Amino acid sequence: MADIKKETPDESEDNPAGRRLDPELVSAAGIAVFDHSQPLKLGSGASLAPYQIAYQTYGTLNKARSNVVLVCHALTGDQHVATTHPVTGKDGWWPRMVGPGCPIDTDRFFVICSNVIGGCMGTTGPESIHPETGLPYGLNFPVITIGDMVKAQVNLIDQLGIADLFCVIGGSMGGMQALQWASSYPERVFSAIPIATAARHSSQNIAFNEVGRQAIMADRDWHSGNYQRVNARPNKGLAVARMAAHITYLSEKALQRKFGRNLQDRDQITYGFEADFQIESYLRHQGFTFVDRFDANSYLYITRAMDYFDLEDDFDSVLSNAFKDTKTRFCIVSFTSDWLFPTSEARHIVHALNAASANVSFVEIDSDKGHDAFLLDEPEMFSTLRGFLNSAAQARGLSADKAGSFA
């Protein structure tokens, strides 16, 4: 593990809630390496070796190693949940959730966030070098699943000498990982918080992902996935994929409130195809800034992993069987305006947990911010999760903090 470092990033548009990262946040970066003797056996039947996992930690591990919170990131996230991103220089992606005094309080908990297998921020993925060819994997990288991501995280936790987790939390694809953890390793998960997620990807979500993948593969600079070998990047295709996906993260009401039909730096329409409207300019900006920090092939692989996720199918189409005899405590969170992972998906999970006699809490938060609400300033979400974590900490037997909450 790298030396502990302190960072004081500036505010940025990736921190829409306006919270500055705490300069006293204790964090450390690390890379866990697994050699040929420790292959990662994948759901496809293939194996991956060697491989590495890039991760970030926050806070201090207690003597009992019982205060560990694993944060799982979404599709385009990474391990930099609460520290400055090394590529963009912008704040971490969950600054109001993770940090000193936050619901996931780094003065109380030891937080781990790793870049998923197939990612592009230090963990082995399609842009990594194939050990047998000396060239980037490209499409020779094996297809991965959400289960494979979790298996890799288990190996990371084992290497860190941590027997079990106080909590696994994540939104969107991160929520899928939290569900997979609780299903596959219930004895290692004391509590789980899946947010704005589902037990399987819907047909509509698969459709949106396919549009994004086709945009990338239609880019002449994609070169059948071998663009690194010819020093090219399918930036246009990846930007379009990001633009299409970003629409699904917002609600119609939020878009209308923020942009309406307002024109961009002009008083009248131009009768052309430049960005006449503010929403057009916004989406173009989202697309073309995204390509600076994300790999196109990683986008293909990770969206495919989300599409293949179907926890119910893994248990003979009975979702409650995925949580049979579980002792894990659950808090399921959804948002009223999230049409990507609507509340009906969350209720399906809750009903399955109820059928399995699991300890489960559920909250639907009234918000007009769409799917991305879980990343934004949502006081009801913060208070709900703070209360759930305090209760779980008390049940875990963790000591009380100075304010009287348990940690």
- In this structure, what are the phi and psi dihedrals at residue 340, rounded to the nearest 5 degrees? -80, -45
Whether the CB-CB separation of 185 and 70 falls below 8 Å is answered with no
Rounded Cα gap, residues 327 and 396, in angstroms: 12
- For 331, phi then psi, to 5°, come to -130, 110
Q: From residue 136, how far is each of 33, 113, 122, 128, 225 by CA, in Å? A: 18, 25, 14, 5, 10
Report residue 105: phi and psi, to 5°: -80, 115
What residues are annotated to the active site? 172, 338, 371
